[in-house]
Amino acid sequence: MTLLGILKYPDPFLKTKAKKVESIDDGIRALIRDMTETMYQARGIGLAATQVGVDKRVVVLDVPDDEERRERGKNLMALINPEILESSGSIKYEEGCLSVQGINADVERASNVKIRALDREGNAIEFEAEGLFAIALQHEIDHIDGILFIDRLSPLKRDMIKRKIKKALEAEERAL
């Protein structure tokens, strides 16, 4: 397994709309293994292929049942070509992102979603999710569509966050 580098905002690749996976081969399965290890190393609950510079519609997630008791691998899933079939309800949740480090913000999303995807073996699956699981699915599917959680914020809040990130990057450059 290889740890992959996670792209950081404002890397332009994060705006890439990923391409559909046409065949699930050993390369895709290796990508899933590497993404999973990278997600765990970064202490995330989800990771999209575009976040590691790969132009494929692949996401991995391991969303805990209870935020207090995280059992690594218990809810691990890899989704290939995931799509949201239905969504309902509304929930506001403070999201963060491995590609937008140090920034959290309340994002409004659907509280329930129905998803269709392929699993790592190429089997078609459909399932419903709610709460944090639904939020994480929408967040990762947004990534493979070239959308960051900060894009879902009001223009004022988004601009404030972008300025904060720009300032932090400039301070890093000066320190080098």
Confidence tier at 65 by pLDDT (50, 70, 90): confident
Task: Please state the rounded mean pLDDT for residues 87-91.
Answer: 98
Domains and CATH numbers, the chain: 12-175 (3.90.45.10)
The answer to whether residue 66 scores a pLDDT higher than 80 is no
85: three-class secondary structure by DSSP: strand
Per-residue confidence (pLDDT) for residue 61, from 0 to 100: 98
* Tally of CB atoms within 10 A around 149: 25
The string of DSSP letters for 107-121 reads: EEE-SEEEEEEE-TT
Q: How many CA within 13 A on the CB side of residue 107?
A: 26
Nearest one of 18, 58, 13, 16 to 35, comparing CA atoms: 58
Q: Is 112 exposed, middle or buried (0-12, 13-18, 19+ CB in 10 A)?
A: middle
pLDDT digits (tens, 9 = 90+) for 45-61: 999 999 999 999 999 99
Catalytic-role residue among 94, 126, 140, 172: 140
Q: Which pTM was predicted?
A: 0.94
Identify whether 94 is a catalytic site residue: no
